[in-house]
Amino acid sequence: MTHAIDSAAAILKLALRPGSVSFVVIVLALGVLLTWSRRLWRVAPFYWMLLLVCYASLATPVVSEWLVDQTSGGFARIERPADAHGAHTIVVLGSGSRTIRDGSQAIDIPMPATVIRTMEGARLYHLLGTPTVILSGGVTDRDTPDARPESESMRGVIVRLDVPAERLVLESVSTTTRTEADAVRALLGAHRTDPIFLVTSPMHMRRSLAVFEAAGMKPIPAAAPFSSDRSPAACRWCPTRDALELSDAVVYEQFAWLYYWAHGWLAPAESDGGSK
């Protein structure tokens, strides 16, 4: 029964994300069925108009950034060493990577959100002195043979930002936020109750904090920017792929929060509706 629920959740995770090809195919197919239906064809124009308005809105930077503000919990970046509160470890959560393979050659490429989080981890490292940095993320590219863990691609980014390799610890087995918490707790060992900085995107932070707290750790939120800096001259009312992906992340996190809550994987204060 649990396996069936998890399989259904995996399918819905793809089907309900506005940035996924599966979602686009489903909504287009539904529109075609309405258009050719003898009973419902009068509804079709309203459906197409609603679809256009919703999709264009989700792909507009002003709307996507508003959605982030409304759902991210207001977590801020760490700006002062005094905010460390005794933390000597930075945990950076990955957001996926891809392995590009051509025969015997392979290159690991982190996804943009992973790069931004890793850059924030590097900034914190230089701000706080010489803490230990845990880069967390296993193999997320299931379509490429012998794909490498995203923690390795994160290491390539953070070393370029002058973080010494000897200060890095790679967690390369997890594929979900929950398994990241379990793996990081195991790495911390006897220090699992010490404060740690948790670096992830604002949309992902609320769920991550609740999961790490439920695992018995004491995470301090260190929110990374939710996107790369935009040019001041960029049109904020023009639909873009980046804005659609941002809205997609917001939608995904709302469903993921409910899924984790239903499984009892969140800290009690959070699952009862509390906020940070």
- In Å, how far are 89, 153, 162, 169, 185 from 256, measured between CA atoms? 26, 25, 34, 27, 21
Residue 136 CA to residue 151 CA, distance in Å, equals: 6
Q: Produce one character per residue of 54-75: b if its CB has 16 or more CB atoms within 10 Å, e if not.
A: ebebbbbbebbbebbeebbbeb
Contact between 239 and 63 under an 8 Å Cβ cutoff? The reply is: no
Q: In a 3-state reduction of DSSP, which class is residue 15? A: helix
- In this predicted structure, what is the pLDDT of residue 6? 53
DSSP strand pairing (105-110 vs 97-102): antiparallel
For 46-100, how does the pLDDT look when each residue is reduced to its tens digit (9 = 90+)? 999 999 999 999 999 999 999 999 998 889 889 999 888 889 999 999 999 998 9
Examine the pLDDT at 201 and tell me if it is beyond 70.
yes
Confidence of residue 8 (pLDDT cuts 50, 70, 90): low
Question: What is the percent of the chain where pLDDT is above 70?
Answer: 91
Residue 68 CA to residue 173 CA, distance in Å, equals: 29
| Mean pLDDT, residues 204-225 taken together | 96
Residue 82 CA to residue 230 CA, distance in Å, equals: 30
pTM greater than 0.75: yes
Strands of the chain, DSSP E = 89-93, 97-102, 105-110, 132-136, 168-171, 195-200, 218-223
For 133-182, how does the pLDDT look when each residue is reduced to its tens digit (9 = 90+)? 999 999 988 888 888 999 999 999 999 999 999 999 999 999 999 999 99
Confidence of residue 276 (pLDDT cuts 50, 70, 90): very low
Q: In residues, how long is the chain?
A: 276
